[in-house]
Amino acid sequence: MTVKVILLWIILARAVYCNASCHSGLDFLQCTEIKWPDFLHDFFSLVLEEDIAQLQWIAITNSKIPTMDYFPRLHSTFNITKLVIENCSLERISEGAFQELEYLQTLDLSHNSLKNIYFIESLPSRLQTIDLSYNRVMYLDNVFHSLKNLKHLSLSHNNLSIVDMNNTIGIRNLNVSFNNISALIGGASSSHYDTIDLSHNNLKTFSEYDLLVRVRDLDISYNKIKQIHAPHTVVLKYSGNKEFNFQLPKLEKLYLSDTPIPKLKESIIELKSFRAEIIQLSNCSITKISKNYFHDFDMGYMDLSYNNIKFIEEGSFSDCKFTNLDLSHSQLKTAQHAFVNMWGYIINLSNNNITNAKNIFSSVSVHYLDISYNPIKVLFKSTFIGCTDMATLILSNCQIEFIERNSFEGLANLEKVDLSHNRIQILEPGTFQNLPVEELILDGNQIHTLRNGSFRNMESLKKLNLSQLCISELDSNTFSDLPALESIDLSRNNISTIPDNLFVNCENLREVFLHGNCLSSFSPFSNKLKIKSISLSFNYTILTSKIANINLNEIKILDSYVPLLKNNSFKGLYNLHTLDCQNVVVEQIEGGAFQTLYNLKDISSKELFKTVKKIKFNTFKGLRSLNDLDLSGLSIVSLETGAFIGLNSLEYLHLDHNNISELNKSTFVGLDSLCTLDLSFNYIGNISSEMLVGIGNLRELYLQNNNISLLNADSLNELPLLEKLSLRNNCLQTLDKELFVNNGDLLWIHLEQNRIKELPVGIFEYLSNLKVLNMSSNKLAIISIGIFSNLKSLEVLDLSNNELVTLEHASAFYSSKNLRRLYLDNNHLKLFDFDRLLTNVNNIEYIGISANKWQCNNLSHVIETLTRHGVSYKEEIKAPMYSNDNIDGIGCIDICKYVYCSHENIEDTLHYY
């Protein structure tokens, strides 16, 4: 086990400890719901170990941090490049708060309550990106001048009303959308932008933008703009002889949505020189597109959706080119001859009022055509003749009742047709014949009967969706012409019988959906077919004999009710890898229910066991390939002896967050490979060695948040390889001297939040590998000399939040030469010989001494000494955290909190008496 992995464990362990939920990888750490500033003590101190040098970004979310005075210096080898403090109710950030993070490039402070942004002036100069969206900033002050590298600034969703562009010099991408901006000033210096998002504001005019020479992406949509002024190069005219003029030579994206432009008039030649990637004219109240308007255009994405266009005159789009033309969501009744010789990769005419599609597309070159949601009752023959490039045709939700034969004639490259949710009752034989269609979607129509020949000559068809068609009977020849078929969906019909040989010619069939039918008999799954996956619904019993097919890899069980899952329910399915259950209720599971599923790797355990209270003997018998079993967060009350027999390969067993109060003897026998057992968040009162027999390979045992009050001398005897043990938050008052006799591999132990008063001498004698010992939040009053004397590998010792009055002598820690972090905060300590400790144990980087009863005069002396010798110390936490007993001056308050001893300063000893 490498050191890195061990330290990563430490991260995760601490994450559990803090009540915060944290999530980490080698280069990031994300925590939510932390308590500030405790978080610093509990978390940063450990996380920021040298060995996890890749840590680059930190995110803190959903917490309460109204003020941020100081973000602590992290270990000097960390180059934190990204910091996120999001949704933390931040109202104030002190100037200089982040100055220690000198490598910071990205700062995300979105979703807070910041009004004042003066802290920006003292941010580290490498910053490139600041996200202040969703705050309460009202003024864009001149605070960015020292950030020479700042390129991206978002202030969207704030309360800005005037923006002085002079204050944003150097910024390339400015996002001030969703504010109340009614005026822009200082525009003369705004020639540096690539992107400006000014959408969703209150701008009434748009002017002085003649110098926006670099801008490529301009969004002024959703304002109250009536007119735009600028010397004209590009002119977009609209009714009443008003015009929008632009001189934006680099413009690639222009967003003008919600700007009223009733009619796009004829012959606007100038717009053609404007080779935009995107022009958005959605929601602009356009009612008409005049003849030849887009004639000969060549553009990227033209968005004309959500207008009131009733007419597109003939030739409006003649001889033009668009990668994406969106005319959806208008009131178009027809567009006959509008697209003559047009080329469009995607054309979207969905959600209009087109009743007849004929003569619209006859000479259009289109790859993807969407005309869904139009009231087209009949699809006439030759509607798409000439559309030889079309690959995808979407005709769903069109009220289509009838499809004339040869409707799809000429579509020589058609790959996908979506006709779902129409009113088709009869599918004429040959409707799709000789088309190269690979996917045909027909679900949600009214085709009760599939006639023979419905899918005649569809040799390329791979995917066929026939779900929700009220089909009650299937003829054994229905699919016999589909040699390429790979997937068929027959779900949610009224099929009761599947005829023999239904798929006999479908040699490529791999996936069959049959759930939501009322199947009583079927035998389509002969072993000659290579079907790998099926979906089914069951009522009362699983029809085991019907699905037995040794080649099946996956079964999906949907919408089913099974009061008792019986012994051997999946008989014969030796190759099943996945048992996927959705919307399934199983009341009880009999022992042996899954036997013979020797290759099962994925079981929907949480769905299958969601109402099961008792896990019975032999329940998992046969599941010898299963590696991970997640039974967490259910309502399990008891586990029978031998409940997990058969899970020979299981490495992870999650039983946390259940209602288990007692463990039986030999509950876990058979789990020979088990590495991790999580029993946290239950009601377990005691742990004895008989309960843990059979899991001698266990490395990690999580018992935090139970009611454990007693551990016997031999409780952990059966776990000789144990490396991680958490007993946090239980009711332990004492520990037996012999408790860890057989656990010499332990690397860390979490015992915090118990009621332990005293540690018996010799308890840690066998733990020469232990790296982390957390005893914080107990009732320890005394640490006996020699108690830590065999903890030669100890790196972190947390004794904070106890009742320690004295540590007798610093020699208590002398044998832990690797000690790096020692927490003594929140005790009753008055004296401690730091000088001798640091001389003897010279790897220490950090000692937490806050909130003790240190005598102030002497502490002042310590600080004096530190200062005189150039020893660095840091107040890491400003909140008063200690009793006032011995404080005799306000100067002291600032000092007593945290002393940071970096190890190059060890020779400048701390005298403290």
| Binding region for ligand NAG (CB under 6 A) | 53, 62-64, 77, 79, 87, 133, 136, 138, 154, 156-157, 159, 161, 164, 166, 175, 177, 185-186, 188-189, 195, 197, 219, 331, 353, 518, 537, 539
CB of 428 to ligand NAG, least distance (A): 27
Nearer to ligand NAG, 1 or 188 (CB): 188
Name the residue among 100, 108, 107 with its Cα closest to residue 78. Answer: 100
CB of 13 to ligand NAG, least distance (A): 23
CB of 487 to ligand NAG, least distance (A): 21
How far is the CA of 148 from the CAs of 151, 152, 172, 182, 881, in angstroms?
A: 9, 12, 12, 28, 39
CB of 519 to ligand NAG, least distance (A): 8
Structure tokens at 451: 């006639």
DSSP bridge pairs for 773:
749, 797
CB of 465 to ligand NAG, least distance (A): 19
Nearer to ligand NAG, 213 or 782 (CB): 213
Nearer to ligand NAG, 197 or 798 (CB): 197
Which H helix or E strand runs over 775?
A: none
Cβ burial 567-579 (10 Å sphere, 16+ → b, else e): ebbbeebbbbbbb
Nearer to ligand NAG, 585 or 781 (CB): 585
Nearer to ligand NAG, 179 or 850 (CB): 179
CB of 513 to ligand NAG, least distance (A): 13
Max intra-chain CA distance, the chain:
100
Nearer to ligand NAG, 164 or 409 (CB): 164
Nearer to ligand NAG, 63 or 658 (CB): 63
Return phi, psi of residue 224, to 5°: -115, 40
CA–CA separation, 581 vs 570, rounded Å? 14
Nearer to ligand NAG, 29 or 863 (CB): 29
CB of 164 to ligand NAG, least distance (A): 5
CA–CA separation, 11 vs 23, rounded Å? 9
CA–CA separation, 275 vs 279, rounded Å? 10
How far is the CA of 308 from the CAs of 166, 237, 346, 359, 369, in angstroms?
A: 40, 18, 21, 22, 21
Nearer to ligand NAG, 566 or 601 (CB): 566
Nearer to ligand NAG, 414 or 536 (CB): 536
CB of 642 to ligand NAG, least distance (A): 34
DSSP sequence for 684-747: --EE-GGGGTT-TT--EEE--SS---EE-TTTTTT-TT--EEE--SS------TTTTTT-TT--
DSSP bridge pairs for 630:
654
Q: Which residues have a Cβ under 8 Å from the Cβ of 240 and sit 6 or more positions away?
A: none
Between strands 686-687 and 652-654, the pairing is: unpaired
* Contact present, 838 and 910 (Cβ < 8 Å): yes
CA–CA separation, 489 vs 467, rounded Å? 6
CB of 597 to ligand NAG, least distance (A): 23
* Contact present, 739 and 718 (Cβ < 8 Å): no
CB of 664 to ligand NAG, least distance (A): 36
Nearer to ligand NAG, 15 or 851 (CB): 15
CB of 492 to ligand NAG, least distance (A): 10
CA–CA separation, 893 vs 881, rounded Å? 10
Return phi, psi of residue 137, to 5°: -70, 130
Nearer to ligand NAG, 138 or 893 (CB): 138
Nearer to ligand NAG, 253 or 577 (CB): 253
How far is the CA of 368 from the CAs of 307, 375, 576, 781, in angstroms?
A: 22, 20, 38, 76
CB of 196 to ligand NAG, least distance (A): 8
CB of 181 to ligand NAG, least distance (A): 11
CA–CA separation, 746 vs 699, rounded Å? 9
Nearer to ligand NAG, 114 or 701 (CB): 114
Sign of the dihedral through C-alpha 693, 695, 699, 701? negative
Q: Which long-range contacts (CB under 8 A, 24 or more apart) does 548-551 make?
A: 548/572, 548/573, 549/525, 549/573, 550/574, 550/575, 551/527, 551/575
CB of 580 to ligand NAG, least distance (A): 17
Nearer to ligand NAG, 189 or 553 (CB): 189
With H, G, I as helix, E, B as strand and everything else as coil, classify residue 282: coil
CB of 170 to ligand NAG, least distance (A): 13
Name the residue among 426, 331, 345, 342 with its Cα closest to residue 378. Answer: 426
% helix, strand, coil for the chain, step of 5 = 10, 20, 70
Name the residue among 110, 152, 98 with its Cα closest to residue 128. Answer: 152
How far is the CA of 146 from the CAs of 64, 68, 142, 170, 720, in angstroms?
A: 30, 21, 10, 10, 59
* Contact present, 741 and 722 (Cβ < 8 Å): no
Neighbours of 507 (CB within 10 A): 12
CB of 64 to ligand NAG, least distance (A): 6
CB of 455 to ligand NAG, least distance (A): 26
Nearer to ligand NAG, 146 or 539 (CB): 539
CB of 439 to ligand NAG, least distance (A): 27
With H, G, I as helix, E, B as strand and everything else as coil, classify residue 897: coil
Residue 211: exposure state from Cβ atoms within 10 A (0-12, 13-18, ≥19): middle
DSSP bridge pairs for 588:
564
Nearer to ligand NAG, 101 or 623 (CB): 101
DSSP sequence for 63-115: -B-SEE--PPPPPTT----EEEEESS---EE-TTTTTT-TT--EEE--SS---
Nearer to ligand NAG, 40 or 584 (CB): 584
